[in-house]
Amino acid sequence: MVCAACSDGTLGDVRTFDACSPLAVTAPAATDAQRASLAGASAAWASVGVTAIDDTGSATDSVALVFANGSPAEYGFYDGAASPPTITINLDLDDTTRAVAIAHELGHAFGLVHVPAATRASVMNPGNLVVAPTADDAAAISAIWGACAPNAP
């Protein structure tokens, strides 16, 4: 794992995913509590209109989600150069902070970089464990991928 800073602000040659297309997040070794945190992260993104995370089995792209030991300053890391691209989350996080850390790393998977806390509150603030995805985060995703079509009822 890497420090909560996750990256130097650039995504370089890492793989990112269109937030308008279904993305499976696979976590076969996750506990029920860890799966609930993934569901919480997905719901947090969905609450601001980003509904790419797909658990119906129809997604062609996927990211692996693993949980590993890390120091107290290590919350998560997105490795978009891995095959498959992988999000690693610190095992020591509680249910609430784990969901925010997963949402943050999903932001990197969608192509977002860190936003200094002095700029605005964002799920992408470095070291963030409390701010869920915001409308501004969704707007940043739209700036990268364009506006997503609304889900059909």
Does the N-terminal peptide bond of residue 84 adopt cis geometry, omega within 30 degrees of 0?
yes
55 has pLDDT over 80: no
Predicted TM-score (pTM) of this structure: 0.89
Q: What is the mean pLDDT of residues 128-138?
A: 96
* Average pLDDT of every residue of the chain: 88
pLDDT at 151: 53
52 has pLDDT over 90: no
The size of the chain, in residues, is 153
Greatest extent of the chain over all pairs of C-alpha atoms, in Å? 44
Dihedral angle computed from the Cα positions of residues 4, 9, 13 and 15, in that order, rounded to the nearest 10 degrees:
60
pLDDT tens string 75-99 = 999 999 999 999 999 999 999 999 9
pLDDT at 59: 87
